Chain A
Amino acid sequence: MYEGVVQDLIDELGRLPGIGPKSAQRIAFHLLATDPADIARLQEILGKVREGVRFCDICGNVSEEERCRICRDARRDPALICVVEEPKDVLAVERTREFRGRYHVLGGALDPLSGVGPDQLRIKELLARIGGEEVSEVIIATDPNTEGEATATYLVRMLRDFPGLTVTRLASGLPMGGDLEFADELTLGRALSGRRAL
Protein backbone atom coordinates (compact mmCIF):
# COMPACT_ATOMS: atom_id res chain seq x y z
CA MET A 1 0.00 0.00 0.00
CA TYR A 2 1.18 3.46 -0.91
CA GLU A 3 0.17 6.58 0.93
CA GLY A 4 -2.94 8.54 0.10
CA VAL A 5 -3.59 9.72 -3.40
CA VAL A 6 -0.98 7.51 -5.08
CA GLN A 7 -2.81 4.43 -3.87
CA ASP A 8 -6.12 5.96 -4.96
CA LEU A 9 -4.71 6.36 -8.46
CA ILE A 10 -3.47 2.77 -8.51
CA ASP A 11 -6.87 1.53 -7.34
CA GLU A 12 -8.70 3.55 -9.99
CA LEU A 13 -6.44 2.31 -12.78
CA GLY A 14 -6.78 -1.24 -11.51
CA ARG A 15 -10.52 -1.07 -12.12
CA LEU A 16 -10.02 -0.66 -15.86
CA PRO A 17 -10.50 -3.79 -17.98
CA GLY A 18 -7.32 -5.77 -18.66
CA ILE A 19 -5.23 -3.93 -16.08
CA GLY A 20 -4.07 -5.93 -13.09
CA PRO A 21 -2.55 -4.56 -9.88
CA LYS A 22 0.99 -4.70 -11.26
CA SER A 23 0.19 -2.83 -14.46
CA ALA A 24 -1.85 -0.31 -12.47
CA GLN A 25 1.17 0.39 -10.32
CA ARG A 26 3.43 0.74 -13.35
CA ILE A 27 1.06 3.15 -15.10
CA ALA A 28 0.59 5.18 -11.93
CA PHE A 29 4.32 5.71 -11.45
CA HIS A 30 4.71 6.45 -15.13
CA LEU A 31 2.07 9.16 -14.82
CA LEU A 32 3.76 10.60 -11.74
CA ALA A 33 6.95 11.05 -13.73
CA THR A 34 5.22 12.41 -16.85
CA ASP A 35 5.46 15.95 -18.16
CA PRO A 36 2.58 18.08 -16.72
CA ALA A 37 1.52 19.13 -20.25
CA ASP A 38 0.93 15.50 -21.20
CA ILE A 39 -1.14 14.95 -18.08
CA ALA A 40 -3.18 18.04 -18.85
CA ARG A 41 -3.94 16.72 -22.34
CA LEU A 42 -5.05 13.36 -20.97
CA GLN A 43 -7.24 15.12 -18.44
CA GLU A 44 -8.84 17.22 -21.13
CA ILE A 45 -9.62 14.22 -23.33
CA LEU A 46 -11.11 12.27 -20.44
CA GLY A 47 -13.33 15.27 -19.69
CA LYS A 48 -14.44 15.58 -23.31
CA VAL A 49 -15.21 11.90 -23.65
CA ARG A 50 -17.72 12.11 -20.84
CA GLU A 51 -19.44 15.21 -22.19
CA GLY A 52 -18.93 14.91 -25.90
CA VAL A 53 -19.59 11.30 -26.83
CA ARG A 54 -23.05 10.04 -27.32
CA PHE A 55 -24.69 7.09 -28.89
CA CYS A 56 -26.45 7.09 -32.24
CA ASP A 57 -30.21 7.32 -31.79
CA ILE A 58 -30.76 4.69 -34.45
CA CYS A 59 -28.05 2.08 -34.19
CA GLY A 60 -26.53 2.68 -30.76
CA ASN A 61 -22.98 3.04 -32.08
CA VAL A 62 -20.76 5.74 -30.59
CA SER A 63 -21.35 8.98 -32.41
CA GLU A 64 -20.62 12.67 -32.20
CA GLU A 65 -24.06 13.61 -33.38
CA GLU A 66 -27.62 12.42 -33.04
CA ARG A 67 -27.01 9.98 -35.85
CA CYS A 68 -23.73 8.28 -36.53
CA ARG A 69 -21.73 8.57 -39.73
CA ILE A 70 -22.99 5.24 -41.05
CA CYS A 71 -26.66 5.91 -40.39
CA ARG A 72 -26.30 9.29 -42.11
CA ASP A 73 -24.59 7.81 -45.16
CA ALA A 74 -27.20 7.51 -47.94
CA ARG A 75 -25.05 5.04 -49.86
CA ARG A 76 -25.41 2.41 -47.12
CA ASP A 77 -28.20 -0.06 -47.80
CA PRO A 78 -30.98 0.48 -45.22
CA ALA A 79 -32.54 -2.89 -46.02
CA LEU A 80 -29.61 -4.72 -44.45
CA ILE A 81 -28.87 -4.63 -40.73
CA CYS A 82 -25.89 -6.25 -39.08
CA VAL A 83 -26.45 -6.83 -35.35
CA VAL A 84 -23.34 -6.72 -33.18
CA GLU A 85 -22.63 -6.67 -29.46
CA GLU A 86 -20.35 -3.66 -29.09
CA PRO A 87 -19.22 -0.58 -31.00
CA LYS A 88 -15.79 -2.19 -31.40
CA ASP A 89 -17.46 -4.96 -33.41
CA VAL A 90 -18.73 -2.35 -35.88
CA LEU A 91 -15.12 -1.39 -36.51
CA ALA A 92 -14.18 -5.03 -36.98
CA VAL A 93 -16.88 -5.61 -39.59
CA GLU A 94 -16.09 -2.29 -41.29
CA ARG A 95 -12.47 -3.32 -41.71
CA THR A 96 -13.52 -6.24 -43.90
CA ARG A 97 -15.11 -3.82 -46.45
CA GLU A 98 -17.56 -6.63 -47.22
CA PHE A 99 -20.60 -5.05 -45.68
CA ARG A 100 -22.61 -2.22 -47.26
CA GLY A 101 -25.60 -2.17 -44.92
CA ARG A 102 -26.16 -0.58 -41.53
CA TYR A 103 -25.64 -1.72 -37.96
CA HIS A 104 -27.43 -2.29 -34.73
CA VAL A 105 -25.35 -2.31 -31.56
CA LEU A 106 -26.94 -4.32 -28.74
CA GLY A 107 -24.64 -3.10 -26.00
CA GLY A 108 -23.62 -6.59 -24.91
CA ALA A 109 -24.95 -10.13 -24.93
CA LEU A 110 -27.29 -12.19 -22.79
CA ASP A 111 -25.28 -12.96 -19.68
CA PRO A 112 -27.37 -13.96 -16.66
CA LEU A 113 -24.24 -14.29 -14.50
CA SER A 114 -23.67 -10.57 -14.91
CA GLY A 115 -27.37 -9.80 -14.67
CA VAL A 116 -27.79 -9.02 -18.37
CA GLY A 117 -31.15 -10.07 -19.80
CA PRO A 118 -33.02 -8.87 -22.91
CA ASP A 119 -34.13 -5.72 -21.09
CA GLN A 120 -30.55 -4.60 -20.66
CA LEU A 121 -29.84 -4.90 -24.38
CA ARG A 122 -31.11 -2.71 -27.21
CA ILE A 123 -33.45 -5.43 -28.47
CA LYS A 124 -36.70 -3.48 -28.27
CA GLU A 125 -35.06 -0.78 -30.38
CA LEU A 126 -34.07 -3.38 -32.94
CA LEU A 127 -37.60 -4.75 -33.17
CA ALA A 128 -38.98 -1.24 -33.56
CA ARG A 129 -36.51 -0.54 -36.33
CA ILE A 130 -37.42 -3.67 -38.24
CA GLY A 131 -41.13 -2.98 -37.80
CA GLY A 132 -40.79 0.57 -39.08
CA GLU A 133 -38.06 0.64 -41.70
CA GLU A 134 -37.75 -1.25 -44.96
CA VAL A 135 -35.51 -3.98 -43.59
CA SER A 136 -35.25 -7.20 -45.59
CA GLU A 137 -32.30 -8.95 -43.98
CA VAL A 138 -30.80 -9.07 -40.49
CA ILE A 139 -27.34 -10.52 -40.08
CA ILE A 140 -26.62 -11.63 -36.55
CA ALA A 141 -22.94 -11.10 -35.82
CA THR A 142 -22.74 -11.65 -32.10
CA ASP A 143 -19.53 -13.20 -30.74
CA PRO A 144 -19.00 -16.92 -31.38
CA ASN A 145 -19.02 -17.78 -27.67
CA THR A 146 -21.62 -19.06 -25.21
CA GLU A 147 -23.23 -15.70 -24.53
CA GLY A 148 -23.11 -14.57 -28.16
CA GLU A 149 -24.68 -17.80 -29.38
CA ALA A 150 -27.47 -17.59 -26.81
CA THR A 151 -28.15 -14.01 -27.87
CA ALA A 152 -28.31 -15.10 -31.50
CA THR A 153 -30.80 -17.86 -30.67
CA TYR A 154 -32.91 -15.39 -28.75
CA LEU A 155 -32.91 -12.88 -31.60
CA VAL A 156 -33.87 -15.55 -34.11
CA ARG A 157 -36.88 -16.38 -31.98
CA MET A 158 -37.91 -12.75 -31.74
CA LEU A 159 -37.42 -12.09 -35.44
CA ARG A 160 -39.08 -15.10 -36.99
CA ASP A 161 -42.53 -13.52 -36.83
CA PHE A 162 -41.62 -10.67 -39.18
CA PRO A 163 -43.02 -11.65 -42.60
CA GLY A 164 -40.53 -11.60 -45.44
CA LEU A 165 -37.53 -10.94 -43.20
CA THR A 166 -34.41 -13.02 -43.82
CA VAL A 167 -32.36 -13.71 -40.72
CA THR A 168 -28.81 -14.93 -41.16
CA ARG A 169 -26.01 -15.82 -38.81
CA LEU A 170 -22.34 -15.28 -39.60
CA ALA A 171 -21.01 -18.42 -41.20
CA SER A 172 -18.96 -20.66 -38.96
CA GLY A 173 -15.25 -20.58 -39.48
CA LEU A 174 -14.88 -17.99 -36.79
CA PRO A 175 -12.92 -19.58 -33.97
CA MET A 176 -15.37 -20.83 -31.33
CA GLY A 177 -15.13 -19.26 -27.92
CA GLY A 178 -13.77 -16.13 -29.50
CA ASP A 179 -14.42 -12.48 -29.79
CA LEU A 180 -15.54 -10.89 -33.03
CA GLU A 181 -13.16 -8.02 -32.46
CA PHE A 182 -10.15 -10.29 -32.62
CA ALA A 183 -11.13 -12.27 -35.72
CA ASP A 184 -8.82 -11.38 -38.58
CA GLU A 185 -10.26 -9.49 -41.52
CA LEU A 186 -10.04 -12.36 -43.97
CA THR A 187 -11.84 -14.82 -41.70
CA LEU A 188 -14.48 -12.31 -40.75
CA GLY A 189 -14.96 -11.29 -44.39
CA ARG A 190 -15.40 -14.91 -45.38
CA ALA A 191 -17.83 -15.46 -42.53
CA LEU A 192 -19.87 -12.50 -43.76
CA SER A 193 -20.06 -13.63 -47.36
CA GLY A 194 -20.82 -17.21 -46.37
CA ARG A 195 -23.50 -16.42 -43.79
CA ARG A 196 -26.27 -18.92 -43.44
CA ALA A 197 -29.99 -18.37 -43.24
CA LEU A 198 -31.77 -19.50 -40.10
Chain B
Amino acid sequence: MYLRHLQVTDFRSWEHVDLPLEPGPTVLVGPNGRGKTNLLEAVGYVATLSSHRVATDAPLIRQGCERALVRLAVVNEGRELTVELEIAPGRANRARVNRGAVGRPRDVLGILRTVLFAPEDLALVRGDPGERRRFLDDLLVQRAPRYAGVRSDYEKVLRQRNALLKTAGKRRGDDPYAASTLEVWDNHLATSGAQLLAARLNLVADLGPHTSAAYAGVAPDSRPATIGYRSSLGAALPEGYGVPGGERAEPEKLAEILLDALGESRAAELERGVSLVGPHRDELELTLGETPAKGYASHGESWSFALALRLGSYELLRAESGGEPVLLLDDVFAELDRRRRARLAEVAASAEQVLVTAAVDEDVPAELEGVRFAVTHGEVRRA
Protein backbone atom coordinates (compact mmCIF):
# COMPACT_ATOMS: atom_id res chain seq x y z
CA MET B 1 0.00 0.00 0.00
CA TYR B 2 1.04 3.61 -0.33
CA LEU B 3 -0.06 7.10 0.64
CA ARG B 4 -1.19 9.19 -2.27
CA HIS B 5 -1.87 12.24 -0.21
CA LEU B 6 -1.04 13.59 3.22
CA GLN B 7 -2.81 16.54 4.74
CA VAL B 8 -2.46 17.84 8.28
CA THR B 9 -4.02 20.81 10.02
CA ASP B 10 -2.91 22.16 13.40
CA PHE B 11 -0.87 19.05 14.08
CA ARG B 12 2.26 19.79 16.15
CA SER B 13 4.16 22.66 14.50
CA TRP B 14 2.09 22.53 11.31
CA GLU B 15 -0.74 24.93 10.64
CA HIS B 16 -1.46 23.29 7.34
CA VAL B 17 0.37 20.95 5.01
CA ASP B 18 -0.93 19.46 1.82
CA LEU B 19 1.44 16.93 0.32
CA PRO B 20 0.89 14.79 -2.76
CA LEU B 21 2.92 11.58 -2.48
CA GLU B 22 4.03 8.76 -4.75
CA PRO B 23 5.02 5.13 -4.32
CA GLY B 24 8.73 4.51 -3.80
CA PRO B 25 11.14 6.54 -1.68
CA THR B 26 10.30 10.04 -0.51
CA VAL B 27 12.88 11.98 1.45
CA LEU B 28 12.09 14.96 3.68
CA VAL B 29 15.19 17.07 4.24
CA GLY B 30 15.48 20.11 6.48
CA PRO B 31 17.31 21.60 9.46
CA ASN B 32 16.57 20.48 13.02
CA GLY B 33 13.25 21.40 14.52
CA ARG B 34 11.39 22.20 11.30
CA GLY B 35 8.73 19.54 11.66
CA LYS B 36 9.96 16.55 9.64
CA THR B 37 9.35 14.03 12.39
CA ASN B 38 6.02 15.67 13.10
CA LEU B 39 4.83 14.61 9.65
CA LEU B 40 5.88 10.98 10.12
CA GLU B 41 4.27 11.04 13.53
CA ALA B 42 0.97 12.13 11.97
CA VAL B 43 1.09 9.23 9.51
CA GLY B 44 1.98 6.76 12.25
CA TYR B 45 -0.87 8.06 14.38
CA VAL B 46 -3.47 7.13 11.78
CA ALA B 47 -2.07 3.61 11.55
CA THR B 48 -1.84 2.96 15.29
CA LEU B 49 -4.03 5.63 16.94
CA SER B 50 -1.09 6.60 19.09
CA SER B 51 2.07 8.64 18.82
CA HIS B 52 5.50 7.04 18.90
CA ARG B 53 6.75 9.94 21.00
CA VAL B 54 4.13 10.81 23.58
CA ALA B 55 1.57 8.88 25.60
CA THR B 56 -1.08 11.59 25.60
CA ASP B 57 -2.60 13.51 22.72
CA ALA B 58 -2.26 17.06 24.06
CA PRO B 59 1.26 17.70 22.65
CA LEU B 60 0.02 16.73 19.19
CA ILE B 61 -2.27 19.72 18.95
CA ARG B 62 -0.67 22.87 17.64
CA GLN B 63 -0.17 25.33 20.45
CA GLY B 64 -3.24 27.51 20.88
CA CYS B 65 -5.52 25.23 18.83
CA GLU B 66 -8.31 22.93 20.01
CA ARG B 67 -7.95 20.03 17.66
CA ALA B 68 -5.70 18.56 15.02
CA LEU B 69 -6.74 17.01 11.77
CA VAL B 70 -4.91 14.37 9.75
CA ARG B 71 -6.24 13.21 6.41
CA LEU B 72 -4.62 10.51 4.33
CA ALA B 73 -5.45 8.99 0.97
CA VAL B 74 -4.35 5.36 1.15
CA VAL B 75 -4.06 3.17 -1.94
CA ASN B 76 -4.12 -0.56 -1.26
CA GLU B 77 -4.05 -2.92 -4.22
CA GLY B 78 -5.57 -0.33 -6.51
CA ARG B 79 -8.33 0.68 -4.12
CA GLU B 80 -8.20 4.13 -2.58
CA LEU B 81 -9.61 5.05 0.83
CA THR B 82 -9.53 8.44 2.51
CA VAL B 83 -9.06 8.29 6.26
CA GLU B 84 -9.56 11.35 8.36
CA LEU B 85 -8.86 11.65 12.05
CA GLU B 86 -9.74 14.52 14.31
CA ILE B 87 -7.64 14.51 17.45
CA ALA B 88 -8.91 16.50 20.41
CA PRO B 89 -7.46 15.87 23.86
CA GLY B 90 -9.90 15.17 26.64
CA ARG B 91 -12.50 13.67 24.40
CA ALA B 92 -12.85 10.80 21.98
CA ASN B 93 -11.22 11.18 18.59
CA ARG B 94 -13.48 11.32 15.58
CA ALA B 95 -12.79 9.32 12.47
CA ARG B 96 -14.15 9.40 8.94
CA VAL B 97 -13.54 7.01 6.09
CA ASN B 98 -14.31 8.34 2.61
CA ARG B 99 -15.98 11.27 4.36
CA GLY B 100 -18.47 9.04 6.16
CA ALA B 101 -18.30 8.85 9.96
CA VAL B 102 -17.30 5.48 11.41
CA GLY B 103 -18.61 4.14 14.70
CA ARG B 104 -15.37 4.22 16.63
CA PRO B 105 -11.90 5.51 15.78
CA ARG B 106 -10.72 1.95 16.34
CA ASP B 107 -12.57 0.98 13.16
CA VAL B 108 -9.96 2.74 11.02
CA LEU B 109 -7.21 0.40 12.22
CA GLY B 110 -6.06 -1.80 9.38
CA ILE B 111 -6.76 0.70 6.61
CA LEU B 112 -3.20 1.99 6.84
CA ARG B 113 -0.35 -0.20 8.00
CA THR B 114 2.99 1.37 8.87
CA VAL B 115 6.28 0.39 10.39
CA LEU B 116 8.04 3.36 11.92
CA PHE B 117 11.64 3.44 13.03
CA ALA B 118 12.77 6.44 15.06
CA PRO B 119 15.59 7.30 17.46
CA GLU B 120 13.14 6.76 20.34
CA ASP B 121 13.27 3.05 19.50
CA LEU B 122 16.51 2.72 21.40
CA ALA B 123 14.16 2.27 24.35
CA LEU B 124 13.03 -1.04 22.86
CA VAL B 125 16.39 -2.44 23.85
CA ARG B 126 17.32 -0.30 26.84
CA GLY B 127 13.93 0.50 28.34
CA ASP B 128 11.61 -1.35 30.72
CA PRO B 129 9.84 -4.59 29.76
CA GLY B 130 6.71 -2.48 29.25
CA GLU B 131 8.32 -0.91 26.17
CA ARG B 132 8.82 -4.31 24.59
CA ARG B 133 5.34 -5.51 25.50
CA ARG B 134 3.96 -2.41 23.85
CA PHE B 135 6.08 -3.11 20.80
CA LEU B 136 4.60 -6.61 20.53
CA ASP B 137 1.03 -5.46 21.10
CA ASP B 138 1.30 -2.59 18.60
CA LEU B 139 2.62 -5.02 16.03
CA LEU B 140 -0.20 -7.46 16.81
CA VAL B 141 -2.72 -4.74 16.04
CA GLN B 142 -0.96 -3.94 12.75
CA ARG B 143 -1.06 -7.64 11.97
CA ALA B 144 -4.72 -8.10 12.88
CA PRO B 145 -6.72 -5.06 14.02
CA ARG B 146 -9.07 -7.10 16.19
CA TYR B 147 -6.29 -7.31 18.78
CA ALA B 148 -6.89 -3.65 19.60
CA GLY B 149 -10.10 -4.86 21.24
CA VAL B 150 -8.48 -7.87 22.92
CA ARG B 151 -5.75 -5.67 24.33
CA SER B 152 -8.08 -3.05 25.74
CA ASP B 153 -10.39 -5.75 27.20
CA TYR B 154 -7.46 -7.32 28.94
CA GLU B 155 -6.30 -4.00 30.35
CA LYS B 156 -9.78 -3.24 31.67
CA VAL B 157 -10.25 -6.64 33.28
CA LEU B 158 -6.80 -6.36 34.82
CA ARG B 159 -7.55 -2.97 36.36
CA GLN B 160 -10.84 -4.27 37.78
CA ARG B 161 -9.26 -7.40 39.15
CA ASN B 162 -6.43 -5.44 40.78
CA ALA B 163 -8.95 -3.12 42.40
CA LEU B 164 -10.79 -6.13 43.78
CA LEU B 165 -7.57 -7.75 45.03
CA LYS B 166 -6.72 -4.57 46.90
CA THR B 167 -10.03 -4.33 48.72
CA ALA B 168 -10.43 -8.08 49.25
CA GLY B 169 -6.87 -8.35 50.53
CA LYS B 170 -7.56 -5.65 53.09
CA ARG B 171 -10.76 -7.22 54.33
CA ARG B 172 -9.20 -10.66 54.59
CA GLY B 173 -11.12 -13.42 56.32
CA ASP B 174 -13.44 -15.63 54.35
CA ASP B 175 -15.68 -13.25 52.54
CA PRO B 176 -17.70 -15.61 50.32
CA TYR B 177 -18.78 -12.77 48.04
CA ALA B 178 -15.21 -11.58 47.48
CA ALA B 179 -14.10 -15.12 46.70
CA SER B 180 -16.87 -15.76 44.19
CA THR B 181 -16.46 -12.40 42.46
CA LEU B 182 -12.73 -12.92 42.29
CA GLU B 183 -13.40 -16.20 40.49
CA VAL B 184 -15.48 -14.29 37.95
CA TRP B 185 -12.65 -11.85 37.28
CA ASP B 186 -10.17 -14.75 37.17
CA ASN B 187 -12.19 -16.30 34.39
CA HIS B 188 -12.34 -13.12 32.37
CA LEU B 189 -8.67 -12.39 32.95
CA ALA B 190 -7.74 -15.90 31.83
CA THR B 191 -9.92 -15.76 28.73
CA SER B 192 -8.79 -12.40 27.40
CA GLY B 193 -5.25 -12.88 28.72
CA ALA B 194 -4.98 -16.19 26.88
CA GLN B 195 -6.00 -14.57 23.61
CA LEU B 196 -3.40 -11.88 24.01
CA LEU B 197 -0.75 -14.34 25.15
CA ALA B 198 -1.38 -16.81 22.32
CA ALA B 199 -1.19 -14.03 19.76
CA ARG B 200 2.05 -12.69 21.24
CA LEU B 201 3.66 -16.14 21.34
CA ASN B 202 2.79 -16.82 17.73
CA LEU B 203 4.00 -13.36 16.80
CA VAL B 204 7.37 -13.90 18.47
CA ALA B 205 7.73 -17.27 16.75
CA ASP B 206 7.07 -15.65 13.39
CA LEU B 207 9.04 -12.46 14.00
CA GLY B 208 12.19 -14.15 15.34
CA PRO B 209 13.72 -15.31 12.04
CA HIS B 210 12.97 -11.97 10.34
CA THR B 211 14.61 -10.08 13.17
CA SER B 212 17.71 -12.26 13.24
CA ALA B 213 18.08 -11.89 9.48
CA ALA B 214 17.60 -8.12 9.63
CA TYR B 215 20.21 -7.84 12.37
CA ALA B 216 22.70 -9.90 10.42
CA GLY B 217 22.07 -7.51 7.54
CA VAL B 218 22.64 -4.25 9.38
CA ALA B 219 25.40 -5.56 11.68
CA PRO B 220 27.16 -8.31 9.75
CA ASP B 221 30.18 -8.56 12.07
CA SER B 222 28.23 -8.76 15.29
CA ARG B 223 27.08 -11.82 17.21
CA PRO B 224 23.71 -13.26 16.15
CA ALA B 225 20.59 -11.62 17.54
CA THR B 226 17.63 -13.67 18.74
CA ILE B 227 14.35 -12.90 20.44
CA GLY B 228 12.33 -15.03 22.83
CA TYR B 229 9.20 -14.73 24.93
CA ARG B 230 9.41 -15.17 28.67
CA SER B 231 6.03 -15.85 30.19
CA SER B 232 5.02 -15.32 33.80
CA LEU B 233 3.58 -18.84 33.52
CA GLY B 234 7.14 -20.14 33.66
CA ALA B 235 7.43 -23.89 33.23
CA ALA B 236 3.66 -24.22 32.87
CA LEU B 237 3.92 -22.78 29.37
CA PRO B 238 3.76 -25.66 26.86
CA GLU B 239 7.06 -26.41 25.21
CA GLY B 240 7.42 -25.10 21.67
CA TYR B 241 5.11 -22.14 22.20
CA GLY B 242 6.67 -18.91 20.97
CA VAL B 243 9.52 -20.74 19.23
CA PRO B 244 10.09 -20.53 15.47
CA GLY B 245 8.79 -23.73 13.89
CA GLY B 246 7.34 -24.82 17.23
CA GLU B 247 3.76 -25.60 18.12
CA ARG B 248 1.22 -22.81 17.51
CA ALA B 249 -0.11 -21.40 20.75
CA GLU B 250 -3.80 -22.09 21.35
CA PRO B 251 -5.86 -19.63 23.40
CA GLU B 252 -8.15 -22.36 24.83
CA LYS B 253 -5.25 -24.32 26.22
CA LEU B 254 -3.58 -21.20 27.58
CA ALA B 255 -6.80 -20.05 29.25
CA GLU B 256 -6.86 -23.24 31.33
CA ILE B 257 -3.20 -22.91 32.24
CA LEU B 258 -3.65 -19.25 33.18
CA LEU B 259 -6.65 -20.06 35.31
CA ASP B 260 -4.68 -22.71 37.21
CA ALA B 261 -1.79 -20.31 37.68
CA LEU B 262 -4.15 -17.66 39.03
CA GLY B 263 -5.48 -20.17 41.51
CA GLU B 264 -2.00 -21.00 42.69
CA SER B 265 -0.92 -17.43 43.16
CA ARG B 266 -4.18 -16.38 44.81
CA ALA B 267 -2.70 -16.01 48.30
CA ALA B 268 0.29 -13.99 47.14
CA GLU B 269 -1.96 -11.82 45.00
CA LEU B 270 -4.28 -11.01 47.90
CA GLU B 271 -1.25 -10.25 50.01
CA ARG B 272 0.18 -7.80 47.49
CA GLY B 273 -3.01 -6.53 45.91
CA VAL B 274 -1.88 -7.02 42.30
CA SER B 275 -2.26 -9.67 39.61
CA LEU B 276 0.98 -11.63 39.46
CA VAL B 277 0.46 -13.82 36.40
CA GLY B 278 -0.63 -12.87 32.91
CA PRO B 279 0.73 -11.23 29.80
CA HIS B 280 1.17 -7.92 31.65
CA ARG B 281 4.06 -9.51 33.56
CA ASP B 282 5.79 -11.04 30.55
CA GLU B 283 8.95 -10.03 28.78
CA LEU B 284 10.28 -10.05 25.24
CA GLU B 285 13.87 -11.14 25.69
CA LEU B 286 16.50 -9.82 23.32
CA THR B 287 19.73 -11.77 23.16
CA LEU B 288 23.04 -11.10 21.41
CA GLY B 289 25.09 -14.26 21.17
CA GLU B 290 24.67 -15.62 24.67
CA THR B 291 24.12 -12.39 26.58
CA PRO B 292 21.00 -10.31 27.06
CA ALA B 293 21.05 -7.15 24.98
CA LYS B 294 19.71 -5.04 27.80
CA GLY B 295 22.51 -3.94 30.08
CA TYR B 296 25.23 -5.53 27.95
CA ALA B 297 24.95 -4.38 24.33
CA SER B 298 26.99 -1.41 23.13
CA HIS B 299 25.30 1.70 21.81
CA GLY B 300 25.81 0.60 18.21
CA GLU B 301 24.58 -2.92 18.95
CA SER B 302 21.52 -1.67 20.80
CA TRP B 303 20.74 0.66 17.99
CA SER B 304 21.11 -2.07 15.37
CA PHE B 305 18.92 -4.41 17.43
CA ALA B 306 16.16 -1.82 17.65
CA LEU B 307 16.40 -1.27 13.90
CA ALA B 308 16.34 -5.05 13.32
CA LEU B 309 13.12 -5.35 15.35
CA ARG B 310 11.48 -2.76 13.12
CA LEU B 311 12.86 -4.13 9.87
CA GLY B 312 11.87 -7.62 11.00
CA SER B 313 8.34 -6.33 11.67
CA TYR B 314 8.32 -4.80 8.25
CA GLU B 315 9.37 -8.04 6.54
CA LEU B 316 6.84 -10.01 8.57
CA LEU B 317 3.90 -7.77 7.69
CA ARG B 318 5.01 -7.57 4.12
CA ALA B 319 5.05 -11.37 3.81
CA GLU B 320 1.45 -11.60 5.02
CA SER B 321 -1.81 -10.47 3.52
CA GLY B 322 -3.36 -7.10 4.33
CA GLY B 323 -1.19 -4.88 2.19
CA GLU B 324 2.50 -4.11 2.32
CA PRO B 325 3.05 -1.54 5.09
CA VAL B 326 4.39 1.94 4.49
CA LEU B 327 7.90 2.19 5.91
CA LEU B 328 8.70 5.33 7.92
CA LEU B 329 12.36 5.97 8.73
CA ASP B 330 13.04 8.91 10.99
CA ASP B 331 16.64 10.13 11.17
CA VAL B 332 18.16 6.70 10.78
CA PHE B 333 20.93 7.17 8.29
CA ALA B 334 22.99 9.67 10.30
CA GLU B 335 23.67 6.98 12.94
CA LEU B 336 24.98 4.35 10.52
CA ASP B 337 28.36 3.78 8.93
CA ARG B 338 28.58 3.56 5.13
CA ARG B 339 28.14 -0.14 4.84
CA ARG B 340 25.10 -0.23 7.06
CA ARG B 341 23.64 2.76 5.27
CA ALA B 342 23.93 0.96 1.99
CA ARG B 343 22.32 -2.16 3.45
CA LEU B 344 19.37 -0.24 4.88
CA ALA B 345 19.01 1.75 1.68
CA GLU B 346 18.66 -1.54 -0.18
CA VAL B 347 15.72 -2.62 1.99
CA ALA B 348 14.17 0.84 1.80
CA ALA B 349 14.53 1.02 -1.96
CA SER B 350 12.61 -2.24 -2.31
CA ALA B 351 9.65 -0.94 -0.26
CA GLU B 352 6.40 -0.10 -2.00
CA GLN B 353 6.65 3.23 -0.22
CA VAL B 354 9.09 4.64 2.28
CA LEU B 355 9.16 8.09 3.86
CA VAL B 356 12.57 9.12 5.14
CA THR B 357 13.65 12.16 7.14
CA ALA B 358 17.16 13.60 7.31
CA ALA B 359 18.67 16.87 8.51
CA VAL B 360 21.12 17.15 5.61
CA ASP B 361 21.25 15.72 2.11
CA GLU B 362 24.57 13.98 2.74
CA ASP B 363 22.95 11.69 5.31
CA VAL B 364 20.77 10.11 2.66
CA PRO B 365 22.50 7.32 0.75
CA ALA B 366 22.82 7.86 -2.97
CA GLU B 367 21.06 4.52 -3.59
CA LEU B 368 17.86 5.96 -2.25
CA GLU B 369 16.76 7.99 -5.19
CA GLY B 370 13.28 9.30 -5.28
CA VAL B 371 11.18 12.35 -4.52
CA ARG B 372 12.82 15.00 -2.32
CA PHE B 373 11.04 17.58 -0.28
CA ALA B 374 12.72 20.49 1.45
CA VAL B 375 11.17 21.20 4.85
CA THR B 376 11.55 24.82 5.90
CA HIS B 377 9.67 27.08 8.29
CA GLY B 378 6.01 26.25 7.91
CA GLU B 379 6.43 24.89 4.43
CA VAL B 380 7.23 21.70 2.54
CA ARG B 381 8.47 22.24 -0.99
CA ARG B 382 9.39 19.74 -3.67
CA ALA B 383 13.13 20.00 -4.26
Contact = CB atoms under 8 A, between A and B. Distances in A.
Interface of A: 20, 110-113, 115, 117-119, 145-147, 149-150, 153-154, 157, 175-177
Interface stretch (B180-188, B326-334, B345-353): B180-188
B60 to A, nearest CB: 20
Interface in B149-169: 149, 152-153, 156-157, 159-161, 163-164, 167
B180 A113 contact: no
Contact of A117 (B149, B177, B187, B188): B177
Interface string B85-106: 0000010000000000001100
Interface residues of B, number: 23
B184 A117 contact: no
A50 to B, nearest CB: 31
Contact of B161 (A112, A115, A157, A175): A112
Contacts of A150: 157, 160, 181, 184-185, 188
Contacts of B103: 175
15 contacts: A111-B160, A112-B181, A112-B185, A113-B159, A117-B164, A118-B177, A118-B181, A146-B156, A146-B157, A150-B157, A153-B187, A153-B188, A157-B180, A157-B184, A177-B149
B184 A153 contact: yes
B96 to A, nearest CB: 18
Question: For the complex, would chain B's binding face be called helix, strand, loop or mixed by DSSP majority?
Answer: helix
Contacts of B163: 112-113
Contacts of B153: 146, 176-177
Contacts of A153: 184, 187-188
Given A153-B187, A154-B184, A175-B103, A146 B160 contact: yes
Question: For the complex, would chain A's binding face be called helix, strand, loop or mixed by DSSP majority?
Answer: helix
Interface of B: 90, 103-104, 149, 152-153, 156-157, 159-161, 163-164, 167, 177-178, 180-181, 183-185, 187-188
Nearest to A146: B156
A147 B160 contact: yes
B259 to A, nearest CB: 13
Given A110-B184, A150-B188, A157-B184, A176 B178 contact: no
A112 B160 contact: yes
B188 A146 contact: yes
Given A117-B181, A150-B185, A157-B184, 17 more contacts: A20-B90, A112-B160, A112-B161, A112-B181, A113-B159, A115-B167, A117-B164, A145-B156, A146-B160, A146-B188, A150-B188, A154-B181, A157-B180, A157-B183, A175-B103, A176-B153, A177-B104
A111 B187 CA distance: 15
For the complex of A and B, 10 pairs with smallest distance between CB atoms: A112-B164, A112-B163, A146-B156, A113-B163, A154-B184, A153-B184, A112-B160, A118-B177, A150-B184, A150-B188
A176 B149 contact: yes
A157 B163 CA distance: 21
A113 B160 contact: yes
B330 to A, nearest CB: 33
A112 B167 contact: yes
A156 B130 CA distance: 36
A149 B149 CA distance: 15
A177 B104 CA distance: 11
A157 B187 CA distance: 12
Nearest to B161: A112
Contacts of B152: 177
Contacts of A154: 180-181, 184
Nearest to B160: A112
B110 to A, nearest CB: 16
Contacts of A146: 153, 156-157, 160, 188
A154 B180 CA distance: 8
Given A115-B167, A153-B188, A110 B181 contact: yes
Contacts of B167: 112, 115
B280 to A, nearest CB: 15
B160 A117 contact: no
Contacts of B180: 118, 154, 157
A23 B252 CA distance: 47
Contacts of B183: 157
Contacts of B157: 146, 150
Nearest to A20: B90
A176 B148 CA distance: 12
A131 to B, nearest CB: 18
Contacts of B104: 177
